[in-house]
Structure 1
Amino acid sequence: MARRSTGFRNKTRRLLSGAAEKRVTVASRMKEFKHGAKVVIRINPAIHDGIPHPRYYGALGTVIEKRGRSYVVEIKDGGKTKWLIAAGEHLKTI
């Protein structure tokens, strides 16, 4: 038998299925976030650049800095503080 894949998008069929509201628009590509802004990670499956790991879908975080076209977001994972790098298309303000 073949070995089961455990890749980046493993077990994400419903999480990353393309819904109608997740279409790519110019406004979604041009979103800007200020330092200290509270954001939620909402992965847009239509855009593959700057996608954070699907494990952190729905996580609440704070924008720390802008790095190129992406943003560094600080989140709490259990008792640890982690930094994720995600493009603005995958973030939503609260």
Structure 2
Amino acid sequence: MITKKVRTKGKLQLSRYFQELKKGDSIAVIREPSIRASFPKRLQGRTGVVDGKRGKAYIIKIKDQDKEKKFLIAPIHLRNVGK
């Protein structure tokens, strides 16, 4: 179960909620516990590449063994790790 630390409980960083990512950016999937995630728990901590944007969510390519899979994930659950 993913929980927040005591000092960050209830807080939501709006800058992370409205962050802009570019196609090709390398990201890490970090679930925000205060918001219901619409993707599987097994993606927690995985890294991937931004493939595009659909509505407010981003299309993320994540390599699973030898296959590439695409997931739609809201920006609040993503962190940019550079290139």
Shorter-chain-normalised TM-score: which range? Answer: 0.7 to 0.9
Larger-Rg structure: 1
Q: Structure 2 regions of 5+ residues with no counterpart?
A: none
Instruction: Give the structure with the larger strand fraction.
Output: 2
Q: Which has the higher contact order (CA 8 A, sep 6+)?
A: 2
Question: What runs of 5+ residues in structure 1 fail to find an aligned partner?
Answer: 1-12
The one-letter code of the counterpart of 1:36 is: G
Out of 6, 22, 25, the position equivalent to 1:34 is 22
Cα RMSD between the aligned structures? 1.5
- In percent, how many aligned pairs have the same letter? 28
The answer on 1:57 being equivalent to 2:57 is no
Work out whether 1:91 is the aligned partner of 2:41.
Answer: no
| Shift in Å, 1:53 | 1.1
Residue 42 of structure 1, CA deviation = 0.5
Deviation at 1:21, TM superposition (A): 4.4
Residue 68 of structure 1 aligns with an amino acid whose one-letter code is G
1:18 offset after TM fit, Å?
Answer: 2.4
Looking at structure 2, the residues matched to 64 and 85 of structure 1 have their Cα atoms a distance apart, in angstroms, of: 10
- State the shift of 1:45 in Å: 0.8
Runs of 4+ in 1 over 6 A off after TM superposition: none
**What TM-score comes out, normalization by structure 2 length?**
0.85
Q: How many angstroms does 1:17 deviate by?
A: 1.4
1:28 deviates by 1.7
